[in-house]
């Protein structure tokens, strides 16, 4: 048993499940969005704004933002714990890994807040 | 034919190097282990492990032209096109990801520690019956494809997750053995076994790239076993 305080759910099964569920959300969103863009023909600002401003799309966009953030965190957490280790960085590994993980976490938090602001901010 | 072999003696060499040998196979499709024996006749200092020479003991796992396998059951014709004909050299290296003791001999300590971690023995607290703990033929059949593992380490040492985190990820061989006991109807430690596997590393570092399946000299499928354990964890945890 290996405990880790920086993995998303501190549990392998939880992270694995979130990774899969978020992948499905991202896939459905991308397919739906491509379908909309293909079917909508000449798209002007008014139609685009109405589409993205509708309640279902706001919910879908919010789900997408959280899914991308969770998916990215789990994936990059795996990358940092694979490659930023004592094998590559020696004694400095823990500091390097922690800094990299914190930078990624902060960027993802900014991304989530910025996304929510765009979706729900009414601008 | 040309044979290129990884040589390293920590007592005399500063760093490992590849040494070339010329071997006459007389056109025969010899096993890689036979080639090593011919090289050993030329150069006694070459070190490698071997024992049963028929794919049962798992001693002579090595990296043969980039792919892990048992030297004793790998014919030259199966190594790569052109090797048997002498058009391409036979390239032998130790199993990747393990410390080299000398030449093709690696320190399997980490690998055995992983094996030990999965407690590879039956755990049953129920009073033993007079003769033996019986199994139905169906329950016994569940162990097929699991018990045949010879612990040669070809699978684990071909797995990048094993290379990067050998101390945390258990590796395909140990996980195959873990499922061998999880699947055994006579074992009662299922809960304890599963509770040791649901952290982010021990099992979930497997990303399903299936290198283990492609190299297993016994034709076993650790990825499938890992999938079964994952399903058990999912059933238990959802």
So where are chain A's domains? 12-120
The whole-angstrom separation of Cα A94 and Cα A77 is 13
pLDDT tens per residue across span B209-229: 999 999 999 999 999 999 999
Model confidence over B114-158: pLDDT tens digits? 999 999 999 999 999 999 999 999 999 999 999 999 999 999 999
Closest CA to A20 of B102, B230, B6: B230
A15 and B161 in contact by Cβ < 8 A?
no
Per-residue pLDDT, A122 = 65
By C-alpha distance, the chain B residue nearest A87 is: B164
Query: Which CATH number do you get for residue B143?
Result: 1.10.1060.10
A11: its two tokens: 């549990």
ipTM value, please give it: 0.86
Domain end among B38, B72, B105: B105
**Whether residue B94 sits in one domain with residue B36:** yes
Residues in chain B with CB shorter than 8 Å from the CB of A15 are: 200, 204
Six-digit token string for B152: 């040669």
Say whether B199 and A2 touch across the interface (CB within 8 A): yes
The interface residues of chain A toward chain B in range 5-24, judged by CB-CB distance below 8 A, are 7, 10-17
**Quick one: B112 and B188 in the same domain?**
yes
B32 and B85 together in one domain? yes
Please check whether residue A87 touches B, CB under 8 A: yes
DSSP A31-88: HHHHHHHHHT-S--HHHHHHHHHSHHHHHHHHHHHHHHHHHHHHHHHHHHHHHSSHHH
Query: What is the model's pLDDT at position A41?
Result: 81
Q: What is the CATH number of the domain that holds B57?
A: 3.10.20.30
Q: What is the C-alpha to C-alpha distance for residues B155 and B166, in angstroms, rounded to an integer?
A: 13
Lowest pLDDT segment from A6-10, A62-66, A117-121? A6-10
Q: Are residues B117 and B233 in the same domain?
A: yes
- Residues B149, B233, single domain; the answer is yes
The residues facing B106 across adjacent strands are B100
Q: Contact B233/B198 with Cβ under 8 angstroms?
A: yes
Please give the share of chain B, as a percent, with pLDDT higher than 90: 98
| CB neighbours of residue B126 within 10 Å | 8
For residues A9 and B59, the model is more confident at B59
Whole-model pTM over 0.95: no
The answer on B85 and B130 residing in a single domain is no
Across chain B, mean pLDDT equals 96
For residue A83, is pLDDT > 60?
Answer: yes
- Looking at residue A8, its pLDDT comes to 84
What range defines the domain where residue B147 resides? 108-237
What pLDDT sits at residue A64? 97
Chain B environment of A1 (Cβ under 8 Å): 195-196, 199, 202
Q: Any idea what DSSP says for residue B182?
A: H
- Choose the final residue of a domain: B105, B140, B160: B105
What is the H or E stretch that residue A103 is in?
helix A93-120
Residues B199 and B143 in one domain: yes
Contact B204 A13 (CB under 8 A): yes
Domain check: are B65 and B9 in the same one?
A: yes
Res. B181: pLDDT tops 60: yes
Averaged pLDDT for residues B178-203:
96
* B113, B12: one domain: no
Instruction: Give the tens place of pLDDT for each residue, A47-70.
Output: 899 999 999 999 999 999 999 999
- Give the mean pLDDT of A88-109: 95
Laid out side by side, the sheet with B67-70 consists of B17-22, B2-7, B90-93, B61-64, B67-70
Q: What is the pLDDT of residues B59-87, one digit of tens each?
A: 999 999 999 999 999 999 999 999 999 89
- Position A123 scores a pLDDT of 52
pLDDT of residue B42: 96
Q: Are A73 and A8 in contact (CB under 8 A)?
A: yes
Give the DSSP H or E segment for B22.
strand B17-22
At B14 the pLDDT is 95
Helices (H), chain B: 32-42, 76-79, 109-117, 137-141, 160-164, 171-182, 190-195, 211-215, 222-237
- Tell me which CATH code domain A12-120 carries: 1.20.1300.10
Residue ending a domain, among B71, B105, B139, is B105
The confidence score (pLDDT) of residue A10 equals 79
Write down the residue that tokens 């890689």 correspond to.
Answer: B32
* Residue B130 and residue B46 share a domain: no
Whether residue B83 is found in the same domain as residue B27: yes
> How many domains does chain B fold into?
2
Label residues A80-99 b or e (16+ Cβ within 10 Å = b): bbbebbeeeeeeeeeebbee
- Average pLDDT value for residue range A102-115: 97
What is the least distance, in Å, from the CA of A66 to any CA of chain B?
21
Question: Could you give the CA distance from residue B227 to residue A20 in angstroms, rounded to a whole number?
Answer: 14
B4 burial class (0-12, 13-18, 19+ CB within 10 angstroms)? middle
B117 and B200 assigned to the same domain: yes
């Amino acid at each position: 048993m290996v405990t880790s305080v920086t993995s998303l759910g501190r549990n392998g099964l939880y992270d694995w499940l979130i990774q899969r569920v978020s992948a499905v959300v991202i896939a459905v969103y991308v397919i739906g969005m491509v379908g909309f863009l293909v079917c909508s023909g000449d798209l002007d600002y008014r139609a685009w704004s109405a589409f993205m401003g509708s309640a279902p799309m706001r919910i879908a966009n919010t789900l997408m933002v959280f899914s991308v953030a969770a998916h990215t965190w789990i994936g990059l957490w795996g990358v940092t714990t694979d490659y930023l280790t004592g094998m590559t960085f020696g004694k400095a590994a823990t500091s390097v890994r922690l800094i990299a993980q914190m930078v990624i976490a902060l960027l993802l938090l900014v991304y989530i807040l910025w996304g929510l602001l765009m979706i729900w901010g009414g601008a | 034919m040309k044979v290129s072999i990884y040589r390293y003696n920590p007592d005399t060499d500063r760093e490992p190097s590849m040494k070339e040998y010329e071997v006459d196979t007389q056109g025969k499709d010899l096993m890689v282990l036979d080639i090593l024996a011919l090289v050993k006749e030329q150069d006694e200092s070459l070190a490698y492990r071997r024992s049963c020479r028929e794919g049962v003991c798992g001693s002579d796992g090595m990296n043969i032209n980039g792919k892990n396998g048992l030297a004793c059951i790998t014919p030259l014709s199966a190594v790569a096109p052109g090797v048997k004909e002498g058009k391409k050299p036979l390239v032998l290296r130790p199993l990747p990801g393990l410390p080299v003791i000398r030449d093709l001999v690696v320190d399997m300590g980490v690998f055995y520690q992983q094996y030990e971690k999965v407690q590879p023995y039956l755990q049953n607290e129920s009073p033993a019956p007079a003769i033996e703990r019986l199994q139905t033929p169906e329950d016994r059949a569940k162990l097929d494809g699991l018990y045949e593992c010879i612990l040669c380490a070809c699978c684990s040492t071909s797995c990048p997750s094993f290379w990067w985190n050998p101390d945390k990820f258990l590796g395909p061989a140990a996980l195959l053995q873990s499922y061998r006991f999880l699947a055994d109807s006579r074992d009662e430690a299922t809960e304890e076994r599963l509770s040791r596997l649901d952290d982010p590393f021990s099992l979930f570092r497997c990303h399903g790239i299936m290198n283990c399946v492609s190299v297993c000299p016994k034709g076993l499928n650790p990825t499938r076993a890992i999938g079964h354990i994952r399903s058990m964890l999912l059933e238990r945890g959802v």
